[in-house]
């Protein structure tokens, strides 16, 4: 590990044009490496970083040099003193360092965040045009090389979640970069997420810039969606299901659709716009159901072709089954069932339960669109659970389509954990 002072000349790339500065401006960065905090890993524990996986677990760290506070930038070295990456220190988390950069010359300054956000935005341009989006995920955390940073854009509002100590520490830089990229947007922080506790951070909701409306309307695939950015789930809406709503709706023509875990009813808006005979929205939240009704209205869809039922899906599916109710199509889009590996078996039982009852409730030839948004639920296991549910339901089932999260929720090839949403379109015979 170097213990000397050295000077690096960093050639700033074209992003400087944004700053109104000469685009090839060369700036001088003086790094006092002797003062930079660093850690050295145990032998053999560098492998994941060499593959550009962005996490360093506490158990991998052998030595720590320099004083480190939560969120501080730290250089990571292999046991043979090879420089591996530069990340943010999270003393309270099992994931003790999240890597910002694998490039030795890259400094974690305003320009770093601007470059990352610009690159993320550029990667989404084709999708935005293809699906006519006014709402999309701008930054998907680790998969966009900004660990702990999620940014969604809803029309002229940016909603961010800063979930790691590093993200929290660099809030001002992130806001600066967002204002450069989106000068017309207000910025709301929705860091009211329990995982912040693991990083030693309190949940937080605050306006970071401009005026934040109580309600925002976005459009995807020609469907309007109203959302409440302050109180809606996650950052206000489930953008990740966009493609799957369109796919589910393609089966809905003239069908009676049971939309379980409907939230604000976007699967229903798509289905009715695609000619569904009837859609029954079911959710425990009356507030979500009221918004679902308004979402049909703003899309000028026939509210008389929709029901809004406040119920526990687990219980309601059982009741419908004993009543002998039948549907042509059922959508199961439950919340995350798994928070830890220890909870996986229980989650499997939950998935199997709802899928089995749903299959029993389908007419012959009926379509089940079933999802798991639990990152800890492996895809193969989810498919097996659905297959087991078919056996228990006494139905023969074909998997027609395998579904995933939308392209504004990409998965970095070095970070398979980024793949969390999986779904199946099943035909129940």
Residues known to be catalytic = 373
| Per-residue tokens: 381 | 């296991």
Using CB under 6 A as the binding rule, whether residue 64 contacts ligand SAH is answered as no
Question: Bridge-partner residues for 327, per DSSP?
Answer: 362
Shortest CB 197 distance to ligand SAH, Å: 21
Shortest CB 312 distance to ligand SAH, Å: 4
Residues 259-278 close enough to bind ligand SAH by CB under 6 A: 261-264, 266-267
Using CB under 6 A as the binding rule, whether residue 238 contacts ligand SAH is answered as yes
What is the C-alpha separation between 125 and 130, in angstroms, rounded? 9
| Contact pick of 121, 149, 227, 313 for ligand SAH (by CB under 6 A) | 313
Using CB under 6 A as the binding rule, whether residue 382 contacts ligand SAH is answered as no
| Contact pick of 104, 286, 314, 322 for ligand SAH (by CB under 6 A) | 314
Main-chain phi, psi angles of 85, to 5 degrees: 180, 175
Question: In Å, how far are 78, 308, 361, 379, 394 from 348, measured between CA atoms?
Answer: 39, 28, 20, 12, 18
Main-chain phi, psi angles of 379, to 5 degrees: -60, -45
Using CB under 6 A as the binding rule, whether residue 283 contacts ligand SAH is answered as yes
Question: Bridge-partner residues for 38, per DSSP?
Answer: 65, 75
Using CB under 6 A as the binding rule, whether residue 295 contacts ligand SAH is answered as no
| Contact pick of 72, 168, 328, 333 for ligand SAH (by CB under 6 A) | 333
Please name which of 286, 287, 252 lies closest in space to residue 269, comparing C-alpha atoms: 252
Shortest CB 317 distance to ligand SAH, Å: 9
What is the C-alpha separation between 119 and 125, in angstroms, rounded? 10
Question: In Å, how far are 6, 143, 163, 375 from 341, measured between CA atoms?
Answer: 45, 22, 20, 10
With contacts defined by CB under 6 A, name the span among 27-35, 247-255, 312-320, 375-383 that binds ligand SAH.
312-320
Nearer to ligand SAH, 302 or 312 (CB): 312
Nearer to ligand SAH, 36 or 285 (CB): 285
With contacts defined by CB under 6 A, name the span among 171-179, 308-316, 339-347, 360-368 that binds ligand SAH.
308-316
Using CB under 6 A as the binding rule, whether residue 335 contacts ligand SAH is answered as yes
Instruction: State the DSSP string of 93-128.
Output: SSEEEEEEES-TT---SHHHHHHHHHHHHHHHHHHH
Please name which of 331, 389, 330 lies closest in space to residue 363, comparing C-alpha atoms: 330
With contacts defined by CB under 6 A, name the span among 17-25, 181-189, 309-317, 419-427 that binds ligand SAH.
309-317
Instruction: State the DSSP string of 156-200.
Output: TEEEEEE-SHHHHHTHHHHHHHHHHH-TT-EEEEEE--GGGGGGT
Using CB under 6 A as the binding rule, whether residue 312 contacts ligand SAH is answered as yes
Instruction: State the DSSP string of 282-341.
Output: EES-HHHHHHHHHHHHHTT--GGGEEEEE--HHHHHHHHHHHT--EEEEEE------SSG
Using CB under 6 A as the binding rule, whether residue 319 contacts ligand SAH is answered as no
Using CB under 6 A as the binding rule, whether residue 363 contacts ligand SAH is answered as no
Nearer to ligand SAH, 316 or 397 (CB): 316
| Contact pick of 288, 317, 368, 369 for ligand SAH (by CB under 6 A) | 288
With contacts defined by CB under 6 A, name the span among 69-77, 193-201, 279-287, 379-387 that binds ligand SAH.
279-287
Using CB under 6 A as the binding rule, whether residue 285 contacts ligand SAH is answered as yes
C-alpha dihedral, 100 to 103 to 107 to 112, nearest 10°: -60
Using CB under 6 A as the binding rule, whether residue 284 contacts ligand SAH is answered as yes
Question: Strands 73-77 and 38-41: what pairing?
Answer: parallel
- Interface with ligand SAH by CB under 6 A: which residues? 238, 241, 261-264, 266-267, 283-285, 288, 312-314, 333, 335
């Amino acid at each position: 590990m170097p213990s000397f002072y050295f000077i690096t000349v960093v050639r700033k790339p074209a992003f400087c044009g944004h700053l109104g500065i000469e685009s090839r401006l060369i700036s001088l960065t003086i790094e006092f490496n002797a003062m930079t905090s660093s850690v050295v890993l145990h032998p053999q524990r560098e492998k994941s970083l060499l593959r550009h996986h962005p996490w360093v677990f506490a158990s991998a760290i052998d030595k720590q040099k320099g004083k480190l506070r939560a969120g501080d930038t730290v250089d990571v070295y292999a046991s043979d003193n090879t420089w591996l990456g530069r990340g943010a220190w999270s003393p309270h988390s099992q994931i003790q360092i999240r890597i910002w950069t694998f490039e030795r010359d890259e400094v974690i300054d305003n320009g770093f965040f601007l470059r990352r956000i610009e690159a993320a935005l550029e990667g989404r341009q084709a999708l935005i045009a293809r699906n006519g989006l006014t709402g999309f995920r701008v930054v998907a955390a680790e998969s966009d090389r900004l660990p702990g940073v999620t940014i969604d854009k809803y029309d002229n509002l940016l909603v961010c979640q800063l979930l790691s100590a590093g993200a929290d520490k660099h809030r001002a830089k992130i806001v600066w970069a967002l204002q450069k990229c989106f000068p017309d947007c207000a910025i709301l922080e929705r860091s009211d997420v329990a995982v912040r506790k693991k990083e030693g951070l309190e949940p937080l909701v605050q306006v970071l810039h401009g005026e934040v409306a109580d309600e925002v309307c976005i459009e995807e695939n020609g469907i309007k969606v109203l959302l409440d950015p302050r109180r809606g789930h996650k950052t206000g809406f489930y953008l990740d299901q966009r493609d799957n709503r369109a796919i589910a709706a393609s089966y809905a023509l003239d069908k009676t659709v049971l939309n379980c875990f409907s939230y604000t009813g976007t699967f229903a808006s798509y289905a009715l716009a695609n000619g569904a005979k009837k859609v029954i929205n079911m959710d425990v939240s009356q507030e979500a159901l009221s918004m679902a009704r308004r979402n049909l209205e703003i899309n000028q869809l026939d509210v008389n072709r929709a029901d809004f039922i406040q119920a526990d899906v687990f219980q309601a599916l059982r009741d419908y089954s004993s009543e002998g109710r039948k549907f042509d199509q059922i959508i199961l889009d439950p919340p995350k069932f798994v928070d830890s590996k220890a909870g996986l078996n229980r989650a499997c039982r939950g998935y199997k339960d709802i899928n089995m009852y749903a299959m029993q409730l389908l007419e012959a030839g009926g379509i089940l669109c079933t999802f798991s948004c639990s990152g800890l639920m492996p895809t193969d296991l989810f498919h097996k659970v659905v297959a087991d549910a078919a056996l228990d339901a006494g139905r023969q089932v074909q998997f027609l389509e395998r579904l995933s999260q939308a392209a504004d929720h990409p998965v970095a090839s070095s970070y398979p954990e980024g793949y969390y949403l999986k779904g199946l379109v099943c035909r129940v015979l």
